[in-house]
Amino acid sequence: MIQLKPIAVVKNSRSEIKDDDWGDVISIIELDESMPEDALLEIESFSHAEVIFYFHQVAEEKIQHGSRHPRNNADWPKVGILSQRGKNRPNRLGATIVKVLKRDGRQLTVQGLDAIDGTPVLDIKPVMKEFLPREEIHQPDWAKELMKNYWEHK
């Protein structure tokens, strides 16, 4: 058994789970009292960070282990849950690269975090070019279509 303890919580204006329009969402990631403030020291010297979080509002009975149509759209092919980024994953883990806006003590302000208010944060890592893919990225057409409004700015 693996047990994880959240290190922070997300605070933002998004209270309901929604599939699109995350581009303009500004979030404050506030460290848990168990974490020292200096755990975030110099994170603002990076332009981006990767946030690993827990989809805490996904009910156990909604968890998927096999394949399904992304967003339950029958126009898209049935693909394995590990071949998509849906929230109904076996361990309910989300990971997003966000823009770092500022750090103020125990709070990190970011843009583009696709997690709702109250979401537990499990880890934060700076994005370094050397950890990004060195080869060209390719993906199927259904994924491009699925993501066309995901980061849309409203």
Kindly report the pTM of this predicted structure.
Answer: 0.91
152, part of any domain:
no
Spell out, as residue ranges, where the chain has pLDDT lower than 50: none
pLDDT of residue 131: 94
pLDDT at 25: 82
CATH of the domain at 135: 2.40.30.70
As for how many domains the chain has, the answer is 1
**Residue 154 covered by a domain:** no
Residues 125, 49: contact at Cβ < 8 Å?
Answer: yes
Contacts of 142 by beta carbon, 8 Å cutoff, 6+ apart: 70, 76, 77, 79
**How confident is the model over 18-29, as pLDDT tens digits?**
765 666 789 999
pLDDT score at 154: 54
What pLDDT does 54 receive? 97
Q: Write out the residue range of the structural domain in which residue 54 sits.
A: 8-147
Is position 1 within any domain? no
